Amino acid sequence: MLTFDLVKACAVLATAQTLVWFQLYSQYVWEWWADKPLHAALIFGIPASLCFWHATRMIIDVTNEAWTSRLLGFGMSYLTFPLLTWWLLNESMFTAKTMLCVALSFLIIIIQLGWR
């Protein structure tokens, strides 16, 4: 049951996950952020929370299932986190463990979006 509304919700989840990544890991990318947890919480945390809230609502409105929302959120996090960590922290995502987790996340997303 892949609909445009679910695709939009996944994009909003990816945005939220990206904001959370920057909230938590900017301190390791840019030295300036190292001692500014309140700044990071306000700048990234509030928009991320709003994105999660809207994505959850969008997904449940389409599927009538809270579990789909939760599992899509988990799956999307394993798409954004490895890419951002590889790109900005130079930590390879190309290990057997990480690639298997990414593949399983893709499988979770496919099951949640396609299985009715």
pLDDT tens-digit series, residues 15-70: 999 999 999 999 999 999 999 999 999 999 999 999 999 999 999 999 999 999 99
DSSP one-letter code for 64: S
> What is the span of the domain harbouring residue 79?
4-114
pLDDT digits (tens, 9 = 90+) for 61-108: 999 999 999 988 988 888 899 899 999 999 988 889 988 988 888 898
pTM: 0.85
Examine the pLDDT at 113 and tell me if it is beyond 90: no
Q: How far apart are CA 62 and CA 20, in angstroms?
A: 25
Are 10 and 18 spatial neighbours (Cβ–Cβ below 8 Å)? no
| One-letter amino acid for residue 58 of the chain | M
Domain count across the chain = 1
Angle subtended at Cα 24 by Cα 23 and Cα 26, rounded to the nearest 5 degrees: 75
